[in-house]
Structure 1
Amino acid sequence: MTFVDLDLAEYAASSAVALGRRIAAGELSPVHLVECALAVANREEPAVNAYAALMPERARSIAVQREAEARAGLLRSVIHGVPIAAKDNMYIEGQPCWKGSLTTSDDPVTESSPMVARLEEAGTVIIGRATTPEFGWKGAGNSPRTGVTRNPWNTACNTGGSSAGSGATVATGAVPIATGTDAGGSIRIPASFCGAVGFKPTLGAIPVWPGTVNENLSHAGPLTRFVDDAAAVFGLTCGPDSRDPQSAFSIRVPVDPAARLRVGVVREPFGVPPGAEVAEVFDAAIRLLTDAGVAELTEITLDRAAPLEIFDGLWVTGRGLGFAEVIRAHRDVMDPGLARLAILAEDYSLADFFAVTQQRRAFNEWAFGLFDRWDLLVMPTMPLTAFAAEAEVPSGGHADAPLPWATWTPYTYPFNISGQPALSLPIGLSNRDLPVGLQIVGPWSADLQVLSFAGRCESALAPLNPRRTAPSTGV
Structure 2
Amino acid sequence: MSEILDKTARETIAAFTNKQLSPVEYMQALITRVEASEPKVGALYAFKPEESLAAARAAEARYMAGAPMGRLDGMPISVKELIATKGDPIPLGTAAVDLVPATEDAPTAARLKEDGAIIFAKTTCPDYGMLSSGLSTFHQLSRNPWKLSENTGGSSAGAAAAAAAGYGPLHIGTDIGGSVRLPAGWTGLFGFKPSLGRMPIDPYMTGRCAGPMTPTVDDAAFVMPTVTRPDWRDATSLPYEALDWDVPAADVRGLKIGLMLDAGCGIDAEPEVIAAVQAAADLFAAHGAEIIPVAPVLTREMLDGLDVAWRARFWGKMELLSPEKRALVLPYIYDWAKNGGDARAVDVARGFDQTFEMRRTSVEVFQKVDIILSPVNPNVSYPADWASPTNDPAKPFEHICFTVPWNMGEQPAASINCGYSSTGMPIGLQIVASRFEDLKVFSIAKAYENWRGPILNWPRHD
TM-score if structure 1 supplies the norm length?
Answer: 0.90
Aligned position for 2:381 = 386
User: 332, 336, 352: which is aligned to 2:331?
Assistant: 336
User: 218, 221, 235: which is aligned to 1:228?
Assistant: 218
- Residue aligned with 1:440, SS: strand
* 1:251 Cα deviation from its structure 2 partner: 6.2
- For the structure 1 residues 134 and 400, does the alpha-carbon distance in structure 2 shift closer, same or farther, using more than 3 Å as the test? closer
Aligned position for 1:467 = 456
Does residue 446 in structure 1 map to residue 437 in structure 2?
Answer: yes
* 1:95 Cα deviation from its structure 2 partner: 2.3
**Identity of counterpart residues, as a percentage?**
30
Aligned position for 2:417 = 426
Aligned position for 1:199 = 192
Does residue 362 in structure 1 map to residue 362 in structure 2?
Answer: no
* 1:379 Cα deviation from its structure 2 partner: 0.7
* 1:303 Cα deviation from its structure 2 partner: 6.0
Aligned position for 1:18 = 11
* 1:302 Cα deviation from its structure 2 partner: 2.5
* 1:187 Cα deviation from its structure 2 partner: 0.6
The one-letter code matched in structure 2 to 1:223 is M
Aligned position for 1:190 = 183
Residues 137-286 of structure 1 correspond to what in structure 2 (within 5 A)?
Answer: 137-209=130-202, 211=203, 215-248=205-238, 261-270=255-264, 273-286=268-281
The one-letter code matched in structure 2 to 1:299 is P
- Residue aligned with 1:459, SS: helix
Q: Distance in 1 between matches of 2:322 and 2:438?
A: 37
Does residue 349 in structure 1 map to residue 344 in structure 2?
Answer: yes
Q: Is the 8 A contact 1:253 1:445 kept in 2?
A: no
Residues 178-229 of structure 1, C-alpha deviations (whole Å, 9 max, x = no match): 11011111111110111111111111211221x15xx112111111111111
Q: Is the 8 A contact 2:23 2:75 kept in 1?
A: yes
Aligned position for 1:4 = none
Aligned position for 2:405 = 414
Which is further off, 236-245 or 379-388? 236-245
Q: Distance in 2 between matches of 1:354 and 1:145?
A: 32
User: What is the RMSD computed on CA atoms of the aligned residues?
Assistant: 2.3
Q: Is the 8 A contact 1:225 1:468 kept in 2?
A: no
Residues 332-351 of structure 1, C-alpha deviations (whole Å, 9 max, x = no match): 21111222244212223332
Q: Is the 8 A contact 2:111 2:229 kept in 1?
A: no
Q: Distance in 2 between matches of 1:304 and 1:201?
A: 20
The one-letter code matched in structure 2 to 1:162 is S
Q: Distance in 2 between matches of 1:231 and 1:312?
A: 33
- Residue aligned with 1:406, SS: coil
Q: Is the 8 A contact 2:260 2:293 kept in 1?
A: yes
Q: How many residues of Structure 1 are paired with residues of Structure 2 in the alignment?
A: 456
- For the structure 1 residues 328 and 367, does the alpha-carbon distance in structure 2 shift closer, same or farther, using more than 3 Å as the test? farther
Aligned position for 2:321 = 326
Extract unaligned runs of 5+ from structure 1. Answer: 1-6
Does residue 111 in structure 1 map to residue 104 in structure 2?
Answer: yes
Q: Distance in 1 between matches of 2:448 and 2:8?
A: 17
Q: Is the 8 A contact 2:42 2:141 kept in 1?
A: yes
Q: Distance in 2 between matches of 1:23 and 1:161?
A: 33
- For the structure 1 residues 303 and 19, does the alpha-carbon distance in structure 2 shift closer, same or farther, using more than 3 Å as the test? closer
Aligned position for 2:81 = 88
Extract unaligned runs of 5+ from structure 2. Answer: none
Which is further off, 69-78 or 374-383? 69-78
Hey, which bits of structure 1, 4+ residues long, moved more than 4 A?
248-260
* 1:360 Cα deviation from its structure 2 partner: 2.5
* 1:268 Cα deviation from its structure 2 partner: 2.3
Which is further off, 199-208 or 358-367? 358-367
Q: Distance in 1 between matches of 2:297 and 2:407?
A: 18
- Residue aligned with 2:86, SS: coil
* 1:34 Cα deviation from its structure 2 partner: 1.0
Q: Distance in 2 between matches of 1:326 and 1:433?
A: 43
* 1:252 Cα deviation from its structure 2 partner: 7.9
- Residue aligned with 1:280, SS: helix
* 1:329 Cα deviation from its structure 2 partner: 4.6
- For the structure 1 residues 368 and 249, does the alpha-carbon distance in structure 2 shift closer, same or farther, using more than 3 Å as the test? farther
Aligned position for 1:33 = 26
Which is further off, 82-91 or 11-20? 11-20
Q: Distance in 2 between matches of 1:21 and 1:261?
A: 35
Q: Distance in 2 between matches of 1:304 and 1:100?
A: 29
Aligned position for 1:315 = 310
* 1:274 Cα deviation from its structure 2 partner: 1.3
- For the structure 1 residues 315 and 11, does the alpha-carbon distance in structure 2 shift closer, same or farther, using more than 3 Å as the test? farther
Q: Is the 8 A contact 1:288 1:461 kept in 2?
A: no
- Residue aligned with 2:185, SS: helix
Aligned position for 1:3 = none
